[in-house]
Each structure stands twice: as C-alpha cells, then as structure tokens.
Amino acid sequence: MKPFVSFAHWKQDLPASVVVFLVAMPLCLGIALASGAPLISGLIAGAVGGIIVGVISGSGLGVSGPAAGLVAIVLTAIADLGGYESFLLAVVLAGVLQLVFGAMRAGIIAYYFPNAVIKGMLAGIGITIVLKQIPHAVGYDADYMGDMTFEQPDHHTTWSELFYMMDAINFGAIMITLACLGVMLLWERPWVKSNTILKLIPGPLLAVLLGALLAKVFSTIPSLAIGPDHFVAIPEINGMDDLHLPDFGGILSWKIWKVAFTIAVVASIETLLCVEATDKLDPYNRTTPANRELVAQGAGNIVSGLLGGLPVTQVIVRSSANIQAGGRTSLSAIAHGILIVLSTLLLPDLLRSIPYACLAAVLLLVGYKLVKPAQFRSMWNSGIMQFIPFVVTVVCVYAIDLLWGVGLGLCVSIMYILWKNYRVPYHFEQNKHRPGLPIHIQLSEDVTFLNKAGIKRTLLELPQGCQVVLDASRTIDLDPDVREIIDDFLDSAPDRGIEVELVGYDDPQAKPLSVDALAGLVRKLAADTDGLKTRTRTQ
C-alpha cells in the first residue's frame, strides 16, 4: 500500500493542482446549481473529494468531486425526501454502503470493462466537453458550466444550444477564449517545456490570469464588455449558519435507504469506469486498486454528507486535466481540495473576476486531447470488432449519458463474444476438408453453453456417410448442455451413416444413465449373479 501522501514529485503535483482547481471550481458550482442544492454544497464536495478521497485512494492521478452524472438523481431525491437535510442522510448512508462494497471486493467488476468501451467513453466525453464549452467560449452561458447531458435541464439540447448561441455572441468573450488558447498552446512548445523556470508555471493558470485581466480591460470598452452573469459565481459564506447538516431522524425510512442505495451503486459504477479510464491515460501505466477506491469514495461520501456536501465520485474531466497538467501523485488531488477551501474562504472576490470564457478555453483543450482523430484511426486499425463497440460507446455517451453509453457499448461487445463463441468453440475448416478423409473436429479447452448453437449447427451440417473424429483431448471443461448435444448426435449418427470416433471423451463426463437403462443394467447384474451362483453349486 502506498503512503498516504507522497511529496516526491511536488514540483509537478503542485502546479497541476492549480490547473485542476481552476477546472473544478466552476464545475462544482454548476453541478450544485443544477442539482437544486445550495452552491456551497458543491464546493464542500469538491474539497472532500480532493482531500479525504485523495488521502485514502490508491489512485495516483484520479480526482474526485461532485459528478454531473448524479445531477438527475440528486434533484429528484431532494424533492422526494422533502428537504436537503434528509438527502444528506442518504449521502452518508451511501458512503457506508460503498465501504461495504469495498469490503466485499466488488471493485473487481472494473476489470471486466473492454478497452474499446473505455476508449469510447473517453472519446465521447471529449466530444461532449468540446461541444458544451463552445457556447461558453463565445459568451453564451445559459447552461451551467459542467453540464454533460445531451438533454439539458432547461429542456434544450447540446445541438440547440449551439444554435441559440448565435444570437448572443460576445466578441469580448471570443477574444478572451482565443487569447487563452494561444497561451496554453504556446506553453506546450518544446522550448517552454525545456526551460527551468517556465515549465514550473502552468499554462492554464497563465491563461486564466490573462482572461481575468482582459475582462477587466474590456469592461471599459462597450463593444467588448462582458456582463456580470458571465463570471464565476462564488457564494457568500456567512459562517457555520450556511452549512446544512443531515437529519438522522429518518435513518429508518425506506425512502432514504432506497436513495442511498441508488447513489451508492451509480457513484460506484461511475467511479470504477473513471478508474479504468484514468489508468488508460496514466503515462506511467499504474493500476489503481479498485476495492480501495470504493472504500475511499465511501469515506468521502460519509464526510461530504456530514458537512452538507453533494455525493462524490471520481470524475474523468478533472482526472484528465490533472494528467494533462503533468500531475504525478495524489498530492495534486489533495492540494486542489485545499485550494478550494482556501480560495472560497480567503479569495472569493478574485475568483469572481474569472470569466467563464477563459475556463471554457481550458476545457476545450482538455476535451480535444480526449478525442484526437488519431484515436479513431487507431481503433479502426484494431479491427471492425473493436471499432464497432468503440463507436457505439462514443455516440451513446455523447447523445445519452456516460452510464447508458458504456452499457450499450458493453452490450455490443457481449454480442460479439456470443457471435465469436458461436463460430469458434472448435476447429473445423469445412472448405479445407478433402472427401474420403475423416472430418476432424477439435474442441477447445473450455466449451460452455455459449457454444451450443455453433456446435449443434456444425454437427447437423455434417454430410451423410462421413467419418468424424470428435477430439476432446484438449478440453478441460465441457458444459453438460454441450455434452447432451454431442450425445444426441451420437444417437442419430448411425441413421445418417456417420461413423464417429471419440478422442478424450472419457468417463468423468460420461452421459448419465436413464431410468430404463439403469433398470436393465440391474436386471443384467442380477441375471449374471444368478448364473454365477448356479455354476458354483454345480461345481
């Protein structure tokens, strides 16, 4: 187990934490707004996801916080439970359930997601980020920062938002976006990365500072001025009175436990998906312990619920921003959580001077790096059976949401597995068979019920009067359903004039005797015993 916090790469982690903090702040606020929760609840969840989860988690680059994928659940749950305090109890209980999931080693399901689906999820999220940030980049901020759904809470869609933004273009916002993109692209040039001093300064931080400065300058130019609604909205903090605490009076309520279970399951699945995706992006090829991650998320949700925060999950947008900013260890996630706390308490006015346009520029670059065209070419070159689940996942993640997209991509992958098992549970190439020679059918090591259809089809299509060798010498596990199909074939083979030779088809997997056959065997044994007794008396 790794140490709780490593400072070995603080020169990379601390600058990366600033970038993650800049990305996370508006997302935390936007998700809280869309969830119908107090704005401060998003900041609490962001801080807890960074500090608490970051300390316990075994992920070097994963960053946790409030997730857009839980917005609909949170919004509905607050209304159904009759208040935010009751919902907070559900968040605490969800954390307890996640601790149980971790103890039960449920994290193993993370290892069953196909690579094509994980890569498709990343590309789909990348497309979503880019299309969602374009309106913010031109000064149209009707939808909240951090929305990742195609069907938006305001009943518009990602595509209609692109249409409506054409009537609200702000040239000051466009200039800020372009200037910020220019700075970040410049900061990725080799001569900057090789400079001892410049490489320590995060490009996104410079971009945000430049954006805030330009917004201040443009405020004196009417044609370029950006309105007050286009800046990060940090809530006023008035002490402990602004914090909401869970109402433990409803701990025996079935409705609260139902919401808790829903949050625990959805948050755990989203976390495990993001864990796999983050590990795929990790330039150091590390593997996150999935069960430990569930425990970390459970602890995070317990603390977040107790402090009045939203539920947390590992989030791919923040995690990928961390990776692209050069983060190396969990110190970057922890430090970003500390920055959320300090900036909210000490620097709210400074944060309120940051326009959404410059944050959109940061996210545009994050999204583009997740959906590079080279990724599509690489998946196409991997074969059609890798490309199809990849594309299905990309389209569905973008057009529906992350869980539906991954689920449908997984279904396509399973269909391919079924089709493949239908074709290759054995080795027999009919086009290479020469008439007059025995047909040799070699069964694989593991033959399951998924192979029933393919084996049955092959046995039914064998020509009349042929010779067949059924070779199970390499077979370790032969499913009883498949055994039954082979036994039925052995019974019908004489009627078709087929001669069958069995290899490796031995007694441990022999066909069970029927009642009639067993009765006949008993009668034969009795007769043989009587005959033996008669011969003995005669002698």
- The span from the CA of 85 to the CA of 78, in Å, is 9
Between CA 452 and CA 483 the distance in angstroms is 9
Asked if the model's pLDDT at residue 312 lies above 90, the reply is yes
Domain co-membership, 189 together with 311: yes
Residues 193 and 106 in one domain: yes
Residues 338 and 467 in one domain: no
Residue 535, pLDDT above cutoff 90: no
118: how many CB neighbours lie within 10 A of its CB? 24
Predicted pLDDT of residue 513 = 41
Q: What is the CATH number of the domain that holds 447?
A: 3.30.750.24
Q: In the structure, what pLDDT confidence band is assigned to residue 239 with cuts at 50, 70 and 90?
A: low
What is the per-residue pLDDT for 473?
A: 82
130: left (phi over 0), alpha (psi -120 to 50) or beta: alpha
Asked if 368 and 130 count as a contact pair (C-beta separation under 8 A), the reply is yes
Q: How confident is the model at residue 241 (pLDDT cuts 50, 70, 90)?
A: low
Helix, strand or coil, per DSSP, at residue 262? helix
Residue 433 lies in a domain: yes
Indicate whether 137 pLDDT > 60. Answer: yes
Same domain (yes/no): 360, 456: no
Mean pLDDT in residue range 411-428:
68
Q: For position 515, what pLDDT does the model report?
A: 46
351, 233 Cβ separation under 8 angstroms: no
Encode pLDDT of 202-215 as tens digits. Answer: 899 999 999 999 99
Q: Is the pLDDT of residue 533 over 50?
A: no
Residue 81 belongs to a domain? yes
What integer pLDDT is reported at residue 512 of this predicted model? 43
Pick from 65-74, 178-187, 225-234, 498-507: least confident: 498-507
Cβ pair 67, 315 in contact under 8 A: yes
For residues 368 and 494, state if they share a domain: no
Q: Which residue shows structure tokens 């004039």?
A: 497
Q: Give the range of the structural domain holding residue 215, as residue numbers without chain letter.
A: 13-232+244-377
Confidence of residue 26 (pLDDT cuts 50, 70, 90): very high
Q: Could you tell me where the beta strands, DSSP code E, fall in 335-461?
A: 426-427, 439-443, 446-447
Q: Tell me: pLDDT of 52 over 50.
A: yes
Q: Distance between CA 394 and CA 131 in Å, rounded?
A: 14
Tokens found for residue 477: 């596990």
pLDDT above 90 as % of the chain? 59
Task: Report d(CA 498, CA 489) in Å as an integer.
Answer: 10
Classify residue 1: in a domain, yes or no.
no
Instruction: Please choose, from the candidates 38, 95, 53, 82, the residue with its C-alpha nearest in 3D space to the C-alpha of residue 260.
Output: 95
pLDDT over threshold 80, residue 179:
yes
Instruction: Identify whether 387 is part of a domain.
Output: no
Q: How far apart are CA 464 and CA 416, in angstroms?
A: 32
Q: What is the pLDDT of residue 434?
A: 62
So what's the pLDDT on residue 485? 86
Kindly state whether residue 391 falls inside one of the protein's structural domains: no
- What average pLDDT does range 79-93 have in this prediction? 95
pLDDT score of 131 more than 70: yes
Lowest mean pLDDT among 58-62, 395-399, 519-523: 519-523
224 with 311, same domain: the answer is yes
Answer whether residue 357 shows pLDDT above 70.
yes
Looking at the structure, tell me whether residues 453 and 360 fall in a common domain: no
pLDDT bin (cut points 50, 70, 90) of residue 235 is confident
Residues 358 and 489 in one domain: no
Q: Specify whether 314 is located in the same domain as 438.
A: no
Q: Percentage of the chain surpassing pLDDT 70?
A: 89
Phi-psi region of 246 (alpha: psi -120 to 50; beta: other; left: phi over 0): beta
Q: For the segment 145-158, what is each residue's pLDDT rounded down to a tens digit?
A: 888 888 888 888 99
Question: For residue 415, what pLDDT is reported?
Answer: 85
**What is the C-alpha separation between 408 and 415, in angstroms, rounded?**
11
385 assigned to some structural domain: no
Q: Does residue 538 fall inside a structural domain? A: no
pLDDT confidence tier of residue 374, bands split at 50, 70 and 90: confident
Phi, psi for 366 (deg, rounded to 5): -60, -45
Structure token digits, residue 497: 């004039």
Domain boundary among 377, 392, 416: 377
Is 18 or 521 the better-scoring residue by pLDDT? Answer: 18
> What's the confidence (pLDDT) of residue 383?
87
Same domain, 30 and 104: yes
Whether 461 and 342 map to the same domain: the answer is no
**Quick one: which H or E segment has residue 495?**
none
Q: What angle do CA 397, 399, 404 make, to 5 degrees?
A: 45
In the chain the first and final C-alpha atoms are separated, in Å, by 80
Task: Encode burial over 243-253: b for 16+ CB neighbours within 10 A, e otherwise.
Answer: ebebbeebeeb
pLDDT digits (tens, 9 = 90+) for 485-530: 888 888 888 888 888 888 887 643 444 444 454 455 455 555 555 5
Distance, CA of 505 to CA of 528 (rounded, Å)? 29
d(CA 137, CA 178): 9
The reported pLDDT for the residue numbered 194 is 87
* Residue 199 pLDDT > 80: yes
d(CA 37, CA 60): 30
Could you give the number of structural domains in the chain?
Answer: 2
b (16+ CB within 10 A) / e for 76-94: ebbeebeebbbbbbbbbbb
In a domain, 397, yes or no: no
* Model pLDDT for residues 433-473, shown as the tens digit of each residue: 566 678 888 887 777 777 777 788 788 878 888 888 888 88
Say whether both 43 and 141 belong to one domain.
yes
Q: At residue 87, does pLDDT exceed 90?
A: yes
pTM of the complete model: 0.81
Contacts of 243 (CB under 8 A, 6+ apart): 40, 44, 307, 308
Q: Is 188 exposed, middle or buried (0-12, 13-18, 19+ CB in 10 A)?
A: exposed
Average pLDDT, stretch 347-376? 92
Looking at 352, 377, 402, the residue that finishes a domain is 377
Report pLDDT for 514: 45
